[in-house]
Structure formats: C-alpha cells, structure tokens
C-alpha cells in the first residue's frame, strides 16, 4: 500500500508565484520522497473558486484531497503545511483533517509543522534568511500578513530572534496584525536608518507584496517610507523562492515521516 503526502498551502491566484513558491516546494518534497503519492490542497476556498472560474484550474481543498486519497489503498497519510504561522488557516486545515479521522480506516494521519512553530524554528529561519552585510544606516523590513489570531505574536518573536542573533536592523511588520509600518518608521528614525530594503515574509509574493508593499499607490509601504525621507529598495520574492526556506518545510515533513 502506497503512502501519501498532502502538501497544504493557503494558495494564490498568481500563476508565476504559484510555480516559483508553491510548486517549487512541492517538487522538493517529490524529489525527497519519490515513492510517495504527492497531492496538493489549498485552504483558501476563495482562491480555489477564482482559479476555477478564471483559468479553468481545479485545485482541491483539504477535504477533497483527502477524499481522493481515501479512494485508493493508502493507509498512512502525511500532511505538510506550507503556512507560515499556526493561525486561522492552519487551524482550519486541522479541523478538516479531524473530520476525516473517524470516517476512514487509516493507520495514521500525521501533520508537519508550519514554518514557525517551536523555538528551534525561529533560530533556523533567521539562519536561513540572508540579512547579512547591512550597513549601519540600512535596515531590512519584512512584511508579514498578520492576523487577529494569537499567533500574530510569531512575528515579534521572530524579530526578537533576529536581534538576539545580532541583526539589530531587521524589523517585521504586518498588513493585518499588531505591528504595522507606522510602528516601525519611528524606530527606523530613532536608529538613524537612511535606506530600507522591503521584503515579503509570506510564502508567495501576491497582492500584498506587489501592491501593499511595493506598489505605486500612496498608501503602499514603499511610498510611506519614501514620504518620510528614506531611500527604499523593494524585493518582491516570496519565501517559497528561497531554497533555504523550502528545505525547512521539507525537514518538518521528514520529522513526521522518519
């Protein structure tokens, strides 16, 4: 009986970043676990419906993917989350998984951690991201998604870990969380920062990265910083494009399989 791996992400409607960030991570998993059946699922039903209507692309949600796996002879299922934090989408994924556990005669269903989960993850993410070589008057500001979930504190914990490892000019703000760019700008001024490098701290570089962070609209992070007198450089690449980050997701999967 074949073992199956279900790779679960929020999803994106951008084809290019889907291939660069989600598909590339799935391919690393396929290369590492060649004898497994590999399937994809998104947790965002909105993204799923839009892809189906606009592009004719059919993507399973978690329930649909598990249903298809159940139709085979698979008895052991490993699920790897590509979520960044254990927030609402991660919990929704678990609710869908739990609803299946009593319906089918599995041997086991195991779930891999999101990118940031335990203390060791924070250390590894800091080591994985290239934040070296900054001048005294330069800073990197990451844009996280943010959430009203308690896991929003993951972003501040990660920023603390950067500081702990000696990267004092690295900041993490969010679009929908507690720490915003408005909170970071006074800190940049206080530390006499002249140049800011903006990077998304999201799996894919979608709407938030392209528009809210690096867009030409007046309220984008780029333009807010320019208005305050900073030089600004934008880096519009999702975390899934970073080989070091993809390897962390693979290592979380290895933890539950091996």
pLDDT digits (tens, 9 = 90+) for 154-181: 999 999 999 999 999 999 999 999 999 9
Would you list which residues are annotated within the binding site?
A: 10, 85-92, 145, 176, 203-204, 208
Q: How far is CA 18 from CA 23, 59, 182, 239, in A?
A: 6, 12, 30, 12
- pLDDT surpassing 80 at residue 68: yes
Q: Which residues are catalytic?
A: 145
Would you list which residues are annotated within the binding site for Co(2+)?
A: 10, 145, 176, 208
Query: Can you read off the two tokens belonging to residue 166?
Result: 């000696």
* Same fold flag, 4-116+242-257 and 130-238: yes
* Interatomic CA distance for residues 235 and 221, integer angstroms: 12
pLDDT, residue 70, reads 81
**Domain chopping of the chain, boundaries:** 4-116+242-257, 130-238
Say which CATH topology domain 4-116+242-257 has.
Rossmann fold (3.40.50)
Beta bridge partners of 44: none
21-41 tens-digit pLDDT: 999 999 999 999 999 999 999
Q: With beta carbons less than 8 A apart as the criterion, state whether 134 and 191 touch.
A: no
- pLDDT surpassing 60 at residue 109: yes
- pLDDT surpassing 80 at residue 102: no
Q: CATH number of the domain at 130-238, out of 3.90.1150.10, 1.10.287.130, 3.40.50.1400, 3.30.565.10?
A: 3.40.50.1400
pLDDT, residue 214, reads 97
Predicted TM-score of the model (pTM): 0.94
Q: With beta carbons less than 8 A apart as the criterion, state whether 30 and 38 touch.
A: yes
pLDDT, residue 105, reads 66
Q: Say whether 111 sits in a helix, a strand or coil.
A: strand
36-57 tens-digit pLDDT: 999 999 999 999 999 999 999 9
Name the residue among 112, 114, 175, 102 with its Cα closest to residue 141.
175
């Amino acid at each position: 009986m074949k073992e199956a791996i279900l790779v679960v992400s929020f999803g994106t409607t951008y084809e290019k970043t889907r291939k660069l960030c989600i598909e590339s991570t799935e391919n690393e998993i396929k290369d590492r676990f060649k004898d497994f059946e590999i399937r994809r699922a998104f947790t965002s039903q909105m993204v799923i419906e839009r892809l189906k209507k606009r592009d004719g692309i059919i993507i399973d949600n978690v329930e649909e993917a598990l249903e298809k796996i159940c139709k085979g002879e698979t008895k052991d299922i490993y699920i790897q989350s590509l979520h960044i934090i254990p927030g609402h989408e991660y919990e929704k994924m678990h609710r869908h998984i739990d609803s299946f556990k009593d319906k089918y005669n599995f041997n086991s269903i195991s779930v891999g951690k999101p990118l940031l989960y335990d203390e060791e993850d924070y250390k590894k993410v800091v080591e994985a991201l290239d934040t070296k070589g900054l001048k005294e008057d330069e800073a990197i500001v990451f844009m996280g998604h943010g959430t009203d979930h308690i896991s929003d504190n993951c972003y501040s914990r990660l920023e603390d870990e950067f500081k702990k490892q000696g990267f004092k000019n690295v900041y993490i703000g969010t679009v929908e969380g507690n720490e915003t760019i408005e909170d970071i700008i006074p800190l940049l001024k206080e530390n006499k920062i002249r140049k800011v490098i903006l990077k998304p701290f999201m799996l894919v570089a979608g709407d938030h990265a392209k528009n809210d962070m690096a867009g030409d609209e007046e309220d984008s992070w780029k333009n807010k910083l320019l208005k305050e007198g900073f030089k600004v450089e934008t880096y519009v690449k999702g975390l899934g494009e970073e080989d070091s980050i993809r390897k962390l997701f693979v290592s979380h999967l290895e933890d539950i399989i091996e």
